[in-house]
Structure 1
Amino acid sequence: MPAFIAGFRGEWRWCSDAGEPSGTAGRPVLDVLERAGLVQVAVLVTRYFGGVKLGAAGLVRAYAGACAAAVQAAGPVTYRRGRRGRLELPYAAYGPVRAWLEEQAIAILDESFGTGVSLDLWVPEDLEAQVPAQARERSAGQASWQPGPWEYRAVEPA
């Protein structure tokens, strides 16, 4: 019995009873996923025992319970949209800029040191406008931000 919710906003939903009595398998599993607020998820539940002995209500409890247990055990992950980019700055600004980036929980993906410092970053969408402004302020106008592509990354729960 499969069910899924796809799309970043959960715009596509589907379930199947896969031969079970109508409404006893796919719909209960899809309900569990919807109540949990999950998107980008697929579930496949296989039943080895029950059938007539469980009855319709027992099938609903069995399928929904299996899905709920799987969701709890899996520990859903939250993804946030952000932008990759490169921040170029002079050595004198490295300490203050890096401290600000760490304070904001901006991911520093790579650092390279040459004639200046280059930081490859992943910046959450809500902070993206602040990065060039804060870097310029902390570097006396010498830092430059080169924005890259948008991407989604897993974030730690708060």
Structure 2
Amino acid sequence: ETTQIGNDRTEQVGHDEVINIGHNRTETVGQDEVITINRDQQRSIGRNRITKIEKDEILNINNQQQTTIHADYTIETGNDYTIEVSGSAEWTAGELIEHQAEIFHSEGYEEVVIESQAGKVIINGEGITLIGHVTIEGSLAYESGSPEAVNPFETNINETSRLDLIDIPLS
């Protein structure tokens, strides 16, 4: 059966509609398509789903989103990648979390803690605390005090005694 409609077509179904296609189906829309579903949508795909979008995709979810993937998951971005979380964020890996970058910047507004079974590193407003057995390989530079502090005067000026130790009669 072939149906050809010259201009517009409106179809209205009073209750339910069921379409059963024995093999393949191809649908082409020349310009835009709008689909409104007033309640739920469910799809079951027996094998692969491939989507190609030539420009942008915007997904707006007013409640939760959950994705379950039983094999690998790969994200590839040609430019920047930003994640913003209003509450807390957590990553859990069974084996390894690895970061590779030319510059790696991690910031905690109040405290940064790196922790494992052997100890931890705490960086906060009080300083840097190392807890556990610490091994340093290579040279170690140690500086103390404030680099902008003024050195106190020597008590011996030009190798003479201080004036308050000499008994000078005042007249």
Quickly name the TM-score band, shorter chain normalised. under 0.3
Query: Counting helix residues as a fraction of each chain, which structure ranks higher?
Result: 1
TM-score, structure 2 as length reference: 0.16
TM-score, structure 1 as length reference: 0.16
Max Rg structure = 2
Query: Counting strand residues as a fraction of each chain, which structure ranks higher?
Result: 1
